[in-house]
């Protein structure tokens, strides 16, 4: 009887293990690239994403659907990237395998909120409202970070 009640609380076929495996197959690589751009280090990015999936597995009962789970993963990747950068110290830079070393170098020189907003918008292709949710800020703040970030990138890259 008890197992029947426990199973009734979950959607059929969507227990935490099944959900994590499915989401992992679809989102591991894009989240790792996102984390590499934010944390500036490929190895740290992989650790961040693995930690995000472990946390999402533990929170699955509250999430229960893929959209909420993906948003949770994105938020966790951004939060963990911030904390790993802070723990490493702002002066240390890793070596991320990312497109265009000039752009990556310029991204690394930006303040974290500007870098996060630009990466989430132009790499992860998220709308401003979703970026606001992922970063935990208002859409107005997102727009401000995008404007100042683009201006700083243009200045760092020079005329092209």
Confidence check: pLDDT of 130 > 80: yes
* pLDDT tens digits, one per residue of 10-67: 443 468 888 889 999 999 999 999 999 998 788 899 999 999 999 999 998 898 888 9
* pLDDT tens digits, one per residue of 109-118: 899 999 999 9
pLDDT given at position 160: 58
Distances (CA, A) of 1 to 5, 6, 9, 79: 7, 9, 13, 41
For residue 145 the two structure tokens come to: 């970070």
pLDDT given at position 12: 38
Model's pTM, two decimal places?
0.74
> Contact 35/44 with Cβ under 8 angstroms?
yes
Of 85, 78, 138, give the one whose Cα is nearest residue 108: 85
* pLDDT tens digits, one per residue of 72-107: 999 999 999 988 887 776 444 444 444 455 788 888
For residue 37 the two structure tokens come to: 């751009």
State the average pLDDT for the chain: 83
Q: Which residues contact 7 (CB under 8 A, 6 or more apart)?
A: none
User: What does DSSP assign to residue 11?
Assistant: -
Of 86, 125, 97, 88, give the one whose Cα is nearest residue 35: 97
């Amino acid at each position: 009887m008890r197992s029947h009640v426990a199973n009734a609380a979950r959607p059929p076929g969507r227990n935490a293990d099944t959900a994590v495996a499915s989401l992992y197959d679809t989102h591991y690589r894009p989240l790792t690239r996102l984390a590499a751009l934010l944390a500036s280090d490929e190895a740290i990015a992989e650790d961040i994403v693995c930690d995000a999936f472990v946390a999402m597995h533990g929170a699955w009962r509250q999430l229960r659907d893929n959209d909420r789970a993906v948003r949770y993963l994105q938020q966790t990747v951004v939060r963990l990237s911030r904390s790993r950068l802070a723990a490493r110290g702002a002066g240390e830079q890793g070596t991320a395998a990312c497109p265009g070393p000039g752009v990556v170098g310029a991204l690394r020189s930006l303040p974290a909120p500007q870098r996060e907003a630009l990466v989430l918008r132009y790499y992860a292709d998220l709308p401003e409202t979703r970026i606001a949710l992922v970063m935990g800020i208002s859409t107005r703040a997102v727009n401000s970070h995008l404007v100042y970030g683009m201006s700083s990138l243009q200045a760092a890259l020079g005329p092209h």
